[in-house]
Every structure is written in structure tokens, then in C-alpha cells.
A and B are shown apart, each in its own frame.
Chain A
């Protein structure tokens, strides 16, 4: 069992540039055993931040990507039949609690409402995880941390996070990094030179201005990095942007045309 968790320990420092005081807040939250809620648009560095935090705290990071079929058993654990015998297998959440790891529930709103509720006793000051089937009540050690993330932007109103859930957390708001920082990130992650990274970041910012024009989300840092990587493979800059950014953002012909014009103005 220990073995399985060891795999989740992050040995090498993940590259992460701070946007503000998020690290300080997260560390303080950890110290006081308060769970974290990360909000922010897709591809703005939430997952990367968690990896960095886990590395900094030297705790294993257990990530669960939530989906609408995720049941309580998927999180907590279940009996399996092995060689004719019923064996209990811990779910990722239980595993993290038992060993004082960091559990990161990605896109929590995607999970079923009844599933979300199991984290309630764990997320307040009781810090308990009841395992009903085994009649067991786990109390989390101080090293354990619960973190959830969600993207408020495109979530359906029906899938909004319940107040009783969100009010148990300390919230960190993530946005796309400011231009200087984002340039550094794109440069580091994709390997392009500073000038190209700067142009990619400007393109990103321009697409993010298009909310009123019908583009719900602009290009994320992740997309900019993708475009940069294509350019690093000797692909023509305009072609790279088209493949990595323009076409991924929309299918709407006029927006496609407009974004192509932006690309051809910048590159």
C-alpha cells in the first residue's frame, strides 16, 4: 500500500512561477489544516500549482479527476473479490487520508452531488472520513490536505458548487498570469525565444478580449505553450498558431477569420 502512494511523491521541483501570494496562502492553510478551493479558467496553472505545492510540502499528491459517474465508492473504496475472498481496497481519498497525503479533486462540480457530500466531514474541523461499509471512522493526520478545483466560467448554473460545500474552503482565485509572467512561462515551457513568447502572450490576451464577440474562453496559457512547442519543431508560426490556437478555440467561421487576422498581424 505504501508502495502505491510513493509513486505520487514529487521528487523534482515542478516549474512554477507565482502569480501573487497564492503559495503563502496555501502554506498557511496547510498549517491550519484548512482545505483549499482553486478557482480559475482552464489551463491557467491550477494543476501545476498543486504539483508545486505538494513538492514543497514533501507530501504525495493524489489527483482524482471528477466525472458525473464518480461514486462514493470510487473515492472511499470498496470490497473486491479476490480468490473467492472479499478484500477491501482503499479508494484514493481514503488512501490519502490514511497516509497524510494531499488529495486533489479536479473539477469537483462534475461529480455527483451525493459524492460531493462525503468530503463534508473531512473538510471541516472534524477532519473525519467515515467508511460506512467497514464501520470505520478515519481521522486525518495533520499532514493530510484536501484540495478541490473548479472552473466557474463555463459551468452550468445547475452544476454550481453548493454553498455548504464551498464555505468549508479557503479559496484561491487563479487567472491567466500577467503578461510579463506569462511570457516567462511560455518561454520556459515551450523553449521559444522571448520575443516569440511575447507575441504568443499578446495573441492570448487578444483572444481573451473576445468574450462579448461570442468567444466564451480565450486561449489558455496551455494553448500558447502548445503553439510555442509546434514552432520549436520548425513549424511556420502562423500555421502553428492556427493548429494550436485558432482551430481549438472555435468553429464559428467569422471568429476563425478574426483570430486568423490577429495571428497574421502578430506573426
Chain B
């Protein structure tokens, strides 16, 4: 199609709100030279974009031709969908940048040769991330690279460099940098208002502030140009992480020096940038390469002042904020509005709101688990006295705790170790739980939960402890009343007590069991579960392996397969010494066999639908898998009754 035909086709595609012919003329001319099939594919997406944004549609028309040189035609619609997502979330500019990226960043000619997929690198970077973050970190594909503190979002594929190794290294740099943000507590940002006052931002920008402290998501909006504030903070904070990585992970910093310099070459050309954007870009490049740029026609004096503000080292995100504010003030001199430049490829943009959400979610979960764990040790029958892990004061009888006695609880800080070399955080790990003036050593899982809460909130709220006390008090009578069904004859229907997690006790004869036969079904659930818990499974197998019955020789037997030479010699010596000699002179091959049977009943009814049943099923699969190692006989009897299948396991 020539440009006239293209125009005609365009108008057919957008019956409502058609543009003026001269508005699209330029774009149709760009499409003109493309082969017909490509033109068609490109125009097919117009009805998708046009109603959303005309401006975006124009950008699309100018980028699409070159994008098709990189993208497979089938991927075009995905790419457009992704662009629209970004448009709706981050606005026109971001969406335009995203489109331009296909062209500038994803070097099409090497696609498929040296490119490396996230799914290829994830297996080895997952444990790597875990080891640095000290907790599980997931990877997921995303249009932007960032972390919400639990997941790191990364590009689906990296094809930027010619060598596969370099592309991998870029993934590793991205991951390490995002972990650096976590290690450097970027998202723990909380700026006291006093400090802001001190910096005069309130006066300068006339914002009325009501909060005592400013969190990161609110910080950017303090600036007249929030995006400039954000970019400056991100840049300064990025420099801090740079310094952290260079000091603590010098290996990767050295390995990627070449890469970072190369990445600087993919940046938008300085000549295309003006005003504030130009300085920001120069600073970005400085952050990437560590080398200041000497030419480029930007305001030298401002750049030098900005560099001076970043010269020494600093250690908190709040200090980064102070410095960002200082540079922001410097940039005011330039005037004009800031036209955002692309962020650093391994730093990306910060997503404080998402990080906060994740944090709140985690806080809620930790709270729940903590209350449950604490309630468990406060239960009357769990009180220390004979307990194995009670402290050295086990001799003193512990007071009985119950809800209505209202015993005061207090978690005290670590107090018995005076090791100064161990530089712990101001709070120190909690080690003791004081119940009625008595120290009880806290079991490991509870201690870890407590530490997490301390890390997060700085203290353990009283309401947590009160809730646990309440739960323990409430649960006490039920637990005592519970009894195990013994001596029941095997006539149908069988009844069992059922555990009720809400009251942390058993419900008497609550569940009725009937057996039925089910037909096998196919699915990926088993395979997925095995893949998902690979690490755990390995550990389980190891544990089960240790339980494996072995064949072994035992010495010193009364009868057996062979003579125990050591024993014979010893018996001769004993005889010579005039002592009664042992009669245990044989070696025997012993084969142990386990002689117990275990039956697990698992409730798969609707009351456990959702994550509970998911977790149950996963646990069963893992258990079955681990049991394989044992070599014992076992059977799973998924025999769903009207609501409750059972799972039978025989060892």
C-alpha cells in the first residue's frame, strides 16, 4: 500500500474521532516503504491504541516499523498490550520510552544468538539472592525492573550484549543491585520532619506537612516537580548502593565495570537532551562508570557542585534524601521543566508504594504467626518445669498462666552475653520471655518471628502479647478435654476428633470417615509442586534417608554368620587372665524393619478450600516423594467420602 491507501485504511480503522489527514500524513509516509504484510500487522493494532490515546498511537506508528525488525510479528500485539499497561499506570511518557526501548535497547540483530532468558538464569540466581537477602526472594518477569522487597521483577530476556556471558552478568548485576537496595534499607526510609524543616523544604515549596515522619512514597511529592525529586533521590541512593556493592561485593563490581561502561553507550545522546534532563543524564553516566564526563555542553558549575555533594560517603537513605534536596535546589537555577530521562538499567525506578504493601502484608502474617507461636508456649500444659528447652532455672516451678489471671508478660532483650565484638543492632535479638518474673528460653521459631517484628517495628506491641495470652487462655480448657480415640473397633463409619485451629483444640468425634474408590486424573499439579519445592524436597529426602533401614553387621553375638575375630581374641586373653570368657563370639548380619503403621487423615472438604487445601496437597506429595527414599511400603488412599477423603500411609 502507498501512503494514500494507508491513510484510507487508517480512517476505516478509526471511525470515531478521526484525525485530520495532515496529522497522520507523516506517519503514513514512514510506513509506506514497508512490505504489505508488515503494514497490515502494524495497522491492525491501531484500533487498540487509538481510543486510549491519540498521542501514543502516533508514537506507536513511528516506532512500530523498527520494532518489527526486532519483534516477531506475533509478539507485536503483546508488545502493544504491555505498552498500554504502562500508559495506564505510568503515563504517556513512560509508555513512549518503553516503545522506544525496543528500538534502542534490544539490539535486534543479535536476538536469539546470545540472548539469555530469565528462566535460564533463575535456578542459579535464586539461591544466590537468598544467600544475600537472608530470606527467600522470588523472580518474576516485568516491564520494569524493580523489587517490591519480596520479588525482583526482571526482563523476560536480555539480548543487549553479543556475548551470552555478558547478558548473564547483566542479570546478575540487576539482581545484586536490587538486593543492594534491600541490604541498604532503601525502603525503610523515614525522614523526620525536623530534618526537612532544617533543610527549609517546607518554607521553600510551601507544602504543609502534618506527619511526624515522611515515608518514601510521600517524599517525592514534596517537590514541585515530583519526578525530578524522585529521579534525583533514586540517583543519589543508587550511588550509595554503588558504594556498598563496591565495598562488599568487589568481585561483581569489578566484573561489571566493562559492562557498565558499555551500558552508558546505550544511553540517549546528550545532544538530544536539554536543561535539567541533561544534567541528570550526565549524573547517571557518572553513577554507571564512576567517571565524570568532561565535554557535552552542560552547566559545568552545577555539575561540579552536584558532584561535590556526592563526594564523601554516607550511610542512610535519609542522608540520600538530604543530598537529593541539595542537588534539586542547585538545578532550580537552570529553570524549565524536567523532561525525565530513562533510569539506569540495573537500578530502575523505585516502587515505594508496592514495597509498603508487601511490608504491611508481611507484618500482618508475622503478627499472626507470632501470636500463635506465643500462645502455644503459654498453654498451661506447656509450661516449663520438665521441659527440655527451659532454661537453667528449670528447678524453679513455673507459675501457671491463664487468661483470667492476667499475668504480665515482657520480652526482654538479650542480657546474658556481653560480647562486644558481636555488633548487633541496637535492639539485639530477643532471647528471653519473662513470664511472671521468670525467664523462659524462647524456642527458635518464635525468636525468629520476634526478631522480624523488632526489625520492622522496633518493639513488640503489647497487643500481640495480649492476643496470644487470650488465645492461650481460651484454648486451654478445650485442649485438656481432648482425648485420643483409642480402642475403637474398625466398623464403619469411623469417627475422629478434628483439630480446630480457631480454638486450637480438637472437636470431639467431629469427622466421619467412609471409604470410596476414586479414579486417577492427570494434571501438572504434582510436577509443579515437585519443581516448586525442590530445595525443601532435597532436605526432606536427606532426613528420610537417615531413617532408612540398613543392613549392618553386628558384632559380639551369641550366634551368627561369621566368627567375630576381635571377640575371640579377647576371650582367649580373658581365659588366660583367669576370667570367665564371653560367649558372644559371632558376627551377624542384621536387617532392621520398621514395625509401625501411621495413618494420616486429610480433610479436603470445602472448609479447607484455598491455600489450606493447596498446602495439604503439596505436603502430601512431598511426603510421598520423601517416603520413596525410605523404601518402606506406603499407600496413599485418596478415598473421598462425602466431604472428607483420607490419606493413608503405611510404614
Answer whether residue A263 sits at the interface, using C-beta atoms and an 8 A cutoff.
yes
Answer whether residue B462 sits at the interface, using C-beta atoms and an 8 A cutoff.
no
Give CA–CA (A40, B488) in the complex, Å. 45
Output the nearest chain B residue to A18 by Cβ-Cβ distance.
Answer: B419
Answer whether residue B140 sits at the interface, using C-beta atoms and an 8 A cutoff.
no
Please tell me if the beta carbons of B422 and A181 are within 8 angstroms of each other in the complex.
yes
Task: Determine the chain A residues whose CB is within 8 A of the CB of B423 once the complex forms.
Answer: 178-180
Answer whether residue A57 sits at the interface, using C-beta atoms and an 8 A cutoff.
no
Answer whether residue A85 sits at the interface, using C-beta atoms and an 8 A cutoff.
yes
Expressed in whole angstroms, the minimum distance between the Cβ of B500 and any Cβ of chain A is: 30
Give CA–CA (A252, B543) in the complex, Å. 17
* A window 1-49: CB within 8 A of B: 18-21
Answer whether residue A254 sits at the interface, using C-beta atoms and an 8 A cutoff.
yes
Please tell me if the beta carbons of A156 and B127 are within 8 angstroms of each other in the complex.
no
A210 is contacted by which of B130, B251, B536, B574 (Cβ under 8 Å)?
B130
A261 is contacted by which of B125, B136, B577 (Cβ under 8 Å)?
B125
Indicate the member of A184, A202, A238 with the most B CB atoms within 10 Å: A202
Expressed in whole angstroms, the minimum distance between the Cβ of B127 and any Cβ of chain A is: 4
Task: Determine the chain B residues whose CB is within 8 A of the CB of A259 once the complex forms.
Answer: 127
Mark interface residues in A239-267 (1 if CB within 8 Å of B CB, else 0): 00000000000001011011101111111
* B window 547-603: CB within 8 A of A: 547, 555-556, 566, 570, 572-574, 576-579
A254 is contacted by which of B127, B249, B422, B574 (Cβ under 8 Å)?
B127
Known: A79-B574, A86-B577. A254 touches B123 (CB 8 A): yes
Answer whether residue B307 sits at the interface, using C-beta atoms and an 8 A cutoff.
no
Please tell me if the beta carbons of A212 and B419 are within 8 angstroms of each other in the complex.
no
Answer whether residue A58 sits at the interface, using C-beta atoms and an 8 A cutoff.
no
Output the nearest chain A residue to B572 by Cβ-Cβ distance.
Answer: A81
Output the nearest chain A residue to B133 by Cβ-Cβ distance.
Answer: A209
Task: Determine the chain B residues whose CB is within 8 A of the CB of A262 once the complex forms.
Answer: 128, 131-132
Give CA–CA (A69, B570) in the complex, Å. 15
Answer whether residue A51 sits at the interface, using C-beta atoms and an 8 A cutoff.
no
Answer whether residue A71 sits at the interface, using C-beta atoms and an 8 A cutoff.
yes
A80 is contacted by which of B255, B539, B573 (Cβ under 8 Å)?
B573
Task: Determine the chain B residues whose CB is within 8 A of the CB of A211 once the complex forms.
Answer: 539
* B window 22-49: CB within 8 A of A: none
Please tell me if the beta carbons of A210 and B570 are within 8 angstroms of each other in the complex.
no
Expressed in whole angstroms, the minimum distance between the Cβ of B154 and any Cβ of chain A is: 15
Give CA–CA (A71, B569) in the complex, Å. 14
Please tell me if the beta carbons of A81 and B576 are within 8 angstroms of each other in the complex.
yes
Task: Determine the chain B residues whose CB is within 8 A of the CB of A19 once the complex forms.
Answer: 419
Output the nearest chain A residue to B423 by Cβ-Cβ distance.
Answer: A180
Give CA–CA (A178, B250) in the complex, Å. 22
Mark interface residues in B514-538 (1 if CB within 8 Å of A CB, else 0): 0000000000000000000011101
Please tell me if the beta carbons of A214 and B539 are within 8 angstroms of each other in the complex.
yes
Please tell me if the beta carbons of B416 and A21 are within 8 angstroms of each other in the complex.
yes
Known: A78-B570, A180-B422, A212-B535. A158 touches B547 (CB 8 A): yes
Answer whether residue B203 sits at the interface, using C-beta atoms and an 8 A cutoff.
no
Please tell me if the beta carbons of A216 and B542 are within 8 angstroms of each other in the complex.
yes
Please tell me if the beta carbons of B124 and A79 are within 8 angstroms of each other in the complex.
no
Answer whether residue B415 sits at the interface, using C-beta atoms and an 8 A cutoff.
no
Task: Determine the chain A residues whose CB is within 8 A of the CB of B555 once the complex forms.
Answer: 69, 71
Answer whether residue B421 sits at the interface, using C-beta atoms and an 8 A cutoff.
yes
Output the nearest chain B residue to A155 by Cβ-Cβ distance.
Answer: B546
Please tell me if the beta carbons of A266 and B547 are within 8 angstroms of each other in the complex.
no
Known: A78-B573, A258-B125. A214 touches B534 (CB 8 A): yes
B419 is contacted by which of A20, A71, A238, A252 (Cβ under 8 Å)?
A20
Known: A73-B570, A265-B249. A258 touches B421 (CB 8 A): no
Known: A180-B422, A261-B172. A255 touches B127 (CB 8 A): yes
Give CA–CA (A153, B536) in the complex, Å. 16
Task: Determine the chain B residues whose CB is within 8 A of the CB of A252 once the complex forms.
Answer: 538
Please tell me if the beta carbons of B576 and A261 are within 8 angstroms of each other in the complex.
no
Please tell me if the beta carbons of B570 and A178 are within 8 angstroms of each other in the complex.
no
Answer whether residue A207 sits at the interface, using C-beta atoms and an 8 A cutoff.
yes
* A window 153-170: CB within 8 A of B: 154-158
Answer whether residue B293 sits at the interface, using C-beta atoms and an 8 A cutoff.
no
Indicate the member of B131, B421, B547 with the most A CB atoms within 10 Å: B131
Answer whether residue B17 sits at the interface, using C-beta atoms and an 8 A cutoff.
no
Please tell me if the beta carbons of B417 and A20 are within 8 angstroms of each other in the complex.
yes
Output the nearest chain A residue to B576 by Cβ-Cβ distance.
Answer: A86
Task: Determine the chain B residues whose CB is within 8 A of the CB of A212 once the complex forms.
Answer: 130, 136, 535-536, 539
Expressed in whole angstroms, the minimum distance between the Cβ of A156 and any Cβ of chain B is: 4
Give CA–CA (A216, B541) in the complex, Å. 11
Answer whether residue B149 sits at the interface, using C-beta atoms and an 8 A cutoff.
no
Mark interface residues in A195-236 (1 if CB within 8 Å of B CB, else 0): 000010010001101111111100000000000000000000
Task: Determine the chain A residues whose CB is within 8 A of the CB of B535 once the complex forms.
Answer: 212-214
Please tell me if the beta carbons of A261 and B249 are within 8 angstroms of each other in the complex.
no
Give CA–CA (A80, B577) in the complex, Å. 9
Answer whether residue B2 sits at the interface, using C-beta atoms and an 8 A cutoff.
no
Output the nearest chain A residue to B546 by Cβ-Cβ distance.
Answer: A156
Give CA–CA (A214, B531) in the complex, Å. 13
Expressed in whole angstroms, the minimum distance between the Cβ of B194 and any Cβ of chain A is: 33
Answer whether residue B176 sits at the interface, using C-beta atoms and an 8 A cutoff.
yes
Output the nearest chain B residue to A72 by Cβ-Cβ distance.
Answer: B556
Please tell me if the beta carbons of A79 and B249 are within 8 angstroms of each other in the complex.
no
Expressed in whole angstroms, the minimum distance between the Cβ of B300 and any Cβ of chain A is: 36
Task: Determine the chain B residues whose CB is within 8 A of the CB of A238 once the complex forms.
Answer: 251
Output the nearest chain B residue to A212 by Cβ-Cβ distance.
Answer: B535
Task: Determine the chain A residues whose CB is within 8 A of the CB of B576 once the complex forms.
Answer: 79, 81, 85-86
Give CA–CA (A67, B123) in the complex, Å. 38
Please tell me if the beta carbons of A264 and B570 are within 8 angstroms of each other in the complex.
no
Answer whether residue A133 sits at the interface, using C-beta atoms and an 8 A cutoff.
yes
Indicate the member of A158, A180, A258 with the most B CB atoms within 10 Å: A258
Known: A69-B555, A80-B573. A133 touches B579 (CB 8 A): yes
Mark interface residues in A85-114 (1 if CB within 8 Å of B CB, else 0): 110100000000000000000000000000
Expressed in whole angstroms, the minimum distance between the Cβ of A149 and any Cβ of chain B is: 19
Expressed in whole angstroms, the minimum distance between the Cβ of B255 and any Cβ of chain A is: 7
Answer whether residue B81 sits at the interface, using C-beta atoms and an 8 A cutoff.
no
Give CA–CA (A94, B462) in the complex, Å. 57
Task: Determine the chain A residues whose CB is within 8 A of the CB of B542 once the complex forms.
Answer: 216
Task: Determine the chain A residues whose CB is within 8 A of the CB of B132 once the complex forms.
Answer: 206, 209, 262
Indicate the member of B132, B543, B573, B576 with the most A CB atoms within 10 Å: B573
Please tell me if the beta carbons of A21 and B131 are within 8 angstroms of each other in the complex.
no
Output the nearest chain A residue to B130 by Cβ-Cβ distance.
Answer: A213
Answer whether residue B134 sits at the interface, using C-beta atoms and an 8 A cutoff.
yes
Task: Determine the chain A residues whose CB is within 8 A of the CB of B416 once the complex forms.
Answer: 21
Task: Determine the chain A residues whose CB is within 8 A of the CB of B534 once the complex forms.
Answer: 214
Answer whether residue B329 sits at the interface, using C-beta atoms and an 8 A cutoff.
no
Answer whether residue B119 sits at the interface, using C-beta atoms and an 8 A cutoff.
no
Give CA–CA (A206, B131) in the complex, Å. 5
B249 is contacted by which of A216, A255, A266 (Cβ under 8 Å)?
A266
Mark interface residues in B97-141 (1 if CB within 8 Å of A CB, else 0): 000000000000000000000000001111110111010100000
Known: A86-B577, A178-B421, A258-B131. A263 touches B126 (CB 8 A): no
Task: Determine the chain A residues whose CB is within 8 A of the CB of B574 once the complex forms.
Answer: 79, 86, 133
Task: Determine the chain A residues whose CB is within 8 A of the CB of B251 once the complex forms.
Answer: 238, 263-267
Task: Determine the chain B residues whose CB is within 8 A of the CB of A81 once the complex forms.
Answer: 572-573, 576
Known: A19-B419, A133-B579, A202-B248. A71 touches B556 (CB 8 A): yes
Output the nearest chain B residue to A263 by Cβ-Cβ distance.
Answer: B251
Answer whether residue B4 sits at the interface, using C-beta atoms and an 8 A cutoff.
no
Can you pick out 5 interface pairs between chain A and chain B where the beta carbons lie within 8 Å of each other?
A78-B573, A79-B579, A86-B576, A257-B124, A266-B250
Closest 4 pairs between A and B when the two form their complex, measured CB to CB: A156-B546, A178-B422, A214-B535, A86-B577
Residues of chain B at the chain A interface (Cβ within 8 Å)? 123-128, 130-132, 134, 136, 172, 176, 248-252, 255, 416-419, 421-423, 534-536, 538-539, 542-543, 546-547, 555-556, 566, 570, 572-574, 576-579
| With A79-B573, A156-B546 already in contact, 19 other A-B pairs whose C-beta atoms are closer than 8 Å | A18-B419, A71-B555, A85-B576, A157-B543, A158-B547, A178-B419, A178-B421, A179-B422, A180-B423, A181-B421, A209-B131, A210-B127, A213-B535, A214-B535, A258-B124, A261-B128, A262-B128, A264-B251, A265-B176
